[in-house]
């Protein structure tokens, strides 16, 4: 009997990983030292790419129903004079919005999904230590009653946040720095004229004020307070937040009934390697960065989706263990990209130099006039531009279509002939298999040995998928490779190379 995967941390990342693994038939155990899931709003937005991956899991609808779709971003000067409006209506996804959903709700929905999969989160249960050997993991787990259990696992996934016990046990350096500037956060009721269906960011001479809709009149207000002493700043009062909103925000706003008031500093830190033998790091345990762009939780959940399909194939002996090496290579590169983008957005927002602020104002004004630049901003925020073009799993062949190119996101597409009841590409990927997607050419004949890891399907030609080509689409909806319909054998060879069972063919990875 195969040993379960032990997941440490039952936040959005850990529960996403548990859900994705269990759907693929992997035994899991998920523990968290906290007695209950969070009751705070914390991470507040789900972007299009994360929603697409939840759609692959078959559970995006409850999240969309529970959240508030925000249709764009308004950037203004203090007092409300508009500088730039960006609409998410051009997002290259069916999810043309930022879904505003408190983390407490995201966790509730994920735990409900786990319940449907017969997985129980073990709370008040703490990982004390673990030993990693060739035969597996032995973890020491302490229960609420003080009982210490020795638990054998196949792998451990540390999804236990910025102060990760798993990362500390590994001795993995959390490289980076902390910004000297203080920020305040307030989840409050807001009366007055401010968009309730979009994000509003106000640039003022002394800093920014950002407004994020949550539900009804409830909003999150975030503002920077500039550098201060190295001692930890206390939570702001409602009066302090109101004073900053009066100076920087749209005129006439009144704050009341605070739900959460907090201060924080921005950390930009990351581990170098996400894999250490049989131990993996994901989410804030591997990377923390500026909240600009609201992509921290999304990046962590996408870590989980990336790791899940690889662990599932290896756990079921359908792929070589070497496949797991690609997790760190791929997600570390994404972590670097998100750190860089979020850091740049933060630095632009926090400019204090009057000359640079004027350049910023002119740049925002001109950005609104260039559709390609607005589209780039939408693609970056919605995360549909994330890619694995430099991944060791990405293969290139002559004759491949210009898009989607190897390493790029594979958009969902309707199928010409439903396969096993599936009418869309995402539904095929839900099985945890690769999809061999043919458009305008006959479906690829797969050898019997590959049919339990890949499904041949025919898609309808579109601007996303031009006729005459074949794509090998990974279970997380990224293109592994593509080729002309005249060379289907290249797809079969690529599939064998990527997920080859140990010893099946000598000379290939994992053999």
Residue with tokens 């060379």: 487
Q: Is the pLDDT of residue 165 over 80?
A: yes
The Cα–Cα gap between 53 and 301 comes to 9
pLDDT at 67: 97
Confidence of residue 351 (pLDDT cuts 50, 70, 90): confident
Residue 135 has pLDDT above 90, yes or no: no
Joined together, the tokens standing for residue 401 give 């279509």
Burial 317-347 (b: 16+ CB within 10 A, else e): ebbbebbbbbbbbbbbbbbebbbebbbebbe
The pLDDT confidence band at residue 343, using thresholds 50, 70 and 90, is confident
What pLDDT digit, counting tens, does each position of 69-113 carry?
999 999 998 888 889 999 999 999 999 999 999 999 999 999 999
Q: Is the pLDDT of residue 187 over 80?
A: yes
**pLDDT of 406:** 94
Question: Which pLDDT score, from 0 to 100, does residue 504 have?
Answer: 41
How far is the CA of 281 from the CAs of 316, 332, 421, in angstroms? 21, 10, 36
What's residue 93's pLDDT? 97
More confident residue, 121 or 206: 121
Q: Please state, rounded to an integer, the average pLDDT across all residues of the chain.
A: 91
Does the pLDDT value for residue 502 go beyond 80? no
pTM equals: 0.94
What average pLDDT does this structure show over 150-173? Answer: 96
- How would residue 231 be classed by pLDDT, with cut points 50, 70 and 90? low
Residue 107: per-residue pLDDT: 98
Least confident of 187-191, 289-293, 463-467, 480-484: 289-293
Higher pLDDT, residue 180 or 84: 84
pLDDT band at 503 (very low <50, low <70, confident <90, very high): very low
Q: In whole angstroms, what is the distance from residue 339 CA to residue 436 CA? A: 33
Closest CA to 458 of 486, 481, 483, 425: 425
Q: Is the pLDDT of residue 222 over 80?
A: yes
Q: Per-residue pLDDT averaged across 300-309, rounded?
A: 98
How does residue 469 score in pLDDT terms, banded at 50, 70 and 90? Answer: very high
Per-residue pLDDT of 381-401, as tens digits, reads 999 999 999 999 999 887 777
The secondary structure element, H or E, covering residue 80 is none
> Residue 347: what pLDDT?
75
Give the pLDDT band of residue 192 (cuts 50, 70, 90): very high
SS (H, E, C) 349-378: HCCCCHHHHHHHHHHHHHHCCCHHHHHHHH
pLDDT over 80 (residue 345): no
Are the C-beta atoms of residues 498 and 480 closer than 8 Å to each other?
yes
**Nearest Cα residue to 357 out of 348, 369, 366:** 348
Contact criterion met (CB below 8 Å) for 71 and 85: no
Distances (CA, A) of 482 to 77, 136, 418, 473: 47, 36, 21, 9
pLDDT digits (tens, 9 = 90+) for 8-49: 999 999 999 999 999 999 999 999 999 999 998 899 999 999
């Amino acid at each position: 009997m195969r040993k379960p995967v032990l997941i440490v941390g039952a936040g959005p990342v850990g529960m996403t990983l548990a859900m994705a693994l269990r759907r693929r038939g992997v035994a899991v155990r998920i523990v968290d030292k906290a007695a209950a899931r969070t009751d705070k709003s914390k991470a507040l937005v789900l972007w299009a790419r994360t929603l697409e991956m939840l759609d692959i899991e078959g559970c995006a609808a409850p999240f969309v129903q529970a959240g508030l779709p925000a249709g764009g971003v308004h950037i203004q000067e203090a007092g409300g004079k508009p500088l730039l409006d960006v609409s998410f209506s051009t997002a290259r996804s069916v999810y043309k919005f930022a879904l505003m959903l408190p983390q407490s709700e995201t966790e509730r929905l994920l735990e409900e999904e786990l319940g449907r999969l017969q997985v129980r989160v073990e709370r008040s249960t703490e990982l004390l230590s673990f030993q990693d050997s060739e035969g597996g993991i032995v973890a020491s787990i302490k229960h609420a009653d003080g009982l210490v259990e020795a638990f054998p696992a196949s792998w451990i996934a540390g999804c236990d946040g910025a102060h990760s016990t798993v990362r500390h046990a590994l001795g993995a350096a959390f490289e980076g720095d902390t910004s000297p500037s203080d920020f305040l956060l307030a989840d409050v009721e807001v009366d007055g004229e401010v968009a309730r269906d979009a994000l509003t960011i106000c640039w003022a001479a002394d800093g920014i004020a950002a407004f994020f809709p949550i539900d009804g009149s409830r909003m999150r207000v975030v503002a920077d307070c500039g550098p201060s002493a190295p001692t930890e700043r206390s939570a702001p009062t409602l009066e302090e937040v109101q004073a900053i909103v009066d100076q920087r925000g749209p005129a006439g706003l009144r704050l009341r009934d605070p739900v959460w008031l907090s201060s924080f500093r921005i950390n930009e830190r990351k581990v170098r390697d996400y894999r250490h033998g049989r131990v993996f790091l994901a989410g804030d345990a591997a990377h923390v960065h500026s909240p600009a762009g609201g992509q921290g939780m999304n990046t962590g959940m996408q870590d989980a989706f990336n790791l899940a399909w690889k662990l599932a194939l290896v756990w079921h002996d359908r792929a070589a263990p070497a496949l797991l090496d690609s997790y760190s290579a791929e997600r570390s590169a994404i972590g670097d990209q998100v750190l860089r983008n979020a850091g740049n957005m933060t630095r632009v927002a926090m400019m204090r130099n009057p000359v640079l602020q004027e350049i910023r104002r002119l740049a925002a004004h001109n950005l609104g006039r260039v559709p390609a630049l607005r589209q780039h901003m939408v693609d970056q925020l919605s995360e549909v531009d994330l890619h694995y073009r430099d991944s060791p799993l990405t293969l290139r062949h002559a004759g491949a279509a210009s898009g989607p190119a190897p390493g790029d996101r594979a958009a969902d597409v309707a199928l010409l002939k439903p396969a096993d009841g599936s009418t869309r590409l995402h539904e095929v990927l839900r099985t945890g298999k690769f999809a061999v997607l043919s458009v305008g050419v006959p479906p690829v004949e797969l050898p019997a040995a590959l049919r339990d890891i890949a499904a041949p399907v025919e898609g309808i030609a579109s601007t996303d998928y031009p006729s005459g080509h074949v794509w090998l689409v990974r279970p997380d909806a990224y293109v592994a490779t593509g080729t002309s319909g005249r060379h289907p054998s290249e797809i079969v060879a690529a599939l064998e190379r990527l997920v080859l069972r140990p010893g099946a063919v000598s000379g290939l990875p994992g053999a």
